[in-house]
Every structure is written in structure tokens, then in C-alpha cells.
Amino acid sequence: MSGAAESGSSLCATPGHEAEPAVALCLTCGAWVCAACRVVAADAVARCPQHVEDGPAPEVESDPAPADESGPAPADESGPTPAPDDDRDAGLQTRLTGLEPLPWEMPERYGPVAGLWQSFLVMLRNPVAYVTRIPWVRGDLRTPLVFGVTCAIIGQVALVLWMLALGELDRHLGPLFEPLGVDTRTGVALSMTLVPLLVTLRLLFFAWTAHMLLRFFSLARRPFESTLRVYCYAAVAQLFHLVPGAGAFIAMGFSGILTMTGLRLAHGVTPVQAMLGMVPYLVGILTGLGL
């Protein structure tokens, strides 16, 4: 299902531009905007002309080159600017935000290890810029899923190793395996083999539930893939489990921030509206099933 189908229209909502194809969603009001009226501020987030003051001042561009007096420039025959649901390569992402997609989304330039690490560094430097660099629709569920599952596995392994090093493994996980008559270390080793499958199912279920809630209230302006990408790339916060002690709390906080920001940017909703899409995340936190 395309993003246009989700929104009911992929045309600009700005008066006077209604016939122009939309290329982005205003972060403040969620309105579709075309290439002519889209304003990208210094935070690389798109807004409509009415809400450009909500963001930092746009970066000042250099003076344009002198006009060529040899004659009018040839007409652009490449066709209209594609709508957000046509964002299936790095080109549109760069044109809309001025930023390249996340390193993980460019395997031809980065290997899996470098792509993961560089994406994590992007998030550390600027969480909003990190979310802005997520390509929302590429017709590819595997890439974000592998990213989310990999981060979750690293986080879970780190958490278990820290418990083991601090002598807390039996106290925290022992009660889970005691009814089964299984030694804690054996139970942990066996359960870790199921982590990839369980995390994959959890990401798919959380994203599907969030998307259905947004759709029910007519707030899903992009397809399910975009919501899934929010949850998968928010899983980068699980790498904070590498930090002993406070890592779990840092991971929880960053995961919430990334999920909230991602839902706002992906669907052009307000913070209150984005809370609908965060219901699975919040329930997961309360039940201990969250990422």
C-alpha cells in the first residue's frame, strides 16, 4: 500500500499549490507540502510556510551564480518531483533533507559493522538528525529489521554479560528458569538462541499495532513500512546496554525519544497524536516485553 493511499492524497495542501505533487510532511501540522513551499530549517526537518517559525532559522544559502544570458534554460523533462511514497533510493532522501540516509542504508559504502557503528554515532550526535535520515519507504523490510534485531541482540548479550560479571545473573534471571528445573546459565544460553526470532516478531507486532492505531484515527500518512522503520531504527538505543548500570535506563529513554520523533516525522503528527503509535512501546515497557 502506498503512502498516497494512506493519506488519501499526495498533492500539496498549501493554498495555490493544490495541483503540485507533495514531497514532504510538515512536522508541525502534518500537511503535505510541495517542493516550492517546503521549508527545511537548520534541523533538516521539513515544515510548511505557515509553521517555518517553529524550527531553527534555515541555513543561509550562498548567492546564486550569475544568470546565463545566452537564453532560457532547457525545460526539465524528468517529470514531477516524486511523492514521499516514491522514496526508494538515496537520491530523494538527500534532496528533501540535504542529508544522506543512515550509513546502515548504504551498504555499498559501509560494511555491516561500520554501517551499524556509524549510524549509532549519528544518533549520539543528534537524535533528531538520526531520525530525519531514515528513508521512510524503500520497498524493503529486511534492511531495517536486520538493523533492529542486531542492535537488540548486542544489547541483550551485553546485559547478560554485565549481570554475570557483577554476580547478579542468578538473582535476576534465576526465578525464570527455576520452575523449569533448568540451571540459570543453561537456561540463558538456550534462550539466547531464540532472541533473533523473538525480537523480529516483537518488532513486527509492535509496529503493526502502532500502525493500526494510527490508521484507525486517520493519522497514518505513510505505509506500514514507515512505522516499522521507526521501531526498528529506534532499537539502536539497545546499544546503550553496553554501558554498565545506567545503560538500561539510558536505552529506555533514548528508545522513547527516537520512537516519538520517528512517528512525528514519518506521519506528520503532533506529539499527542504520536502517543497513539507509542502505545505498543509503553505497554512493552510496563510488561517487560519492550525493546
- Which pLDDT tens digit goes with each residue over 31-58? 778 878 877 765 556 778 887 765 555 4
Identify the pLDDT of residue 89: 45
95 pLDDT tier (thresholds 50, 70, 90): low
Write out pLDDT tens, residues 209-247: 999 999 999 999 899 999 999 999 999 999 999 998 889
Q: Return mean pLDDT, the chain.
A: 80
Identify the pLDDT of residue 51: 77
Identify the pLDDT of residue 84: 44
Identify the pLDDT of residue 41: 65
87 pLDDT tier (thresholds 50, 70, 90): very low
Whether this prediction's pTM lies above 0.85 is answered by no
* Domain parsing of the chain, residue ranges: 1-58, 102-287
DSSP 11: B
Instruction: Name the most confidently modeled range: 20-24, 32-36, 65-69.
Output: 32-36
Identify the pLDDT of residue 190: 86
DSSP 21: B
Write out pLDDT tens, residues 240-285: 999 988 898 999 999 999 999 999 989 988 889 999 999 988 888 7
Q: How far is CA 129 from CA 98, 101, 120, 187, in A?
A: 11, 10, 12, 40
180 pLDDT tier (thresholds 50, 70, 90): confident
Among 291, 104, 136, CA closest to 205: 291
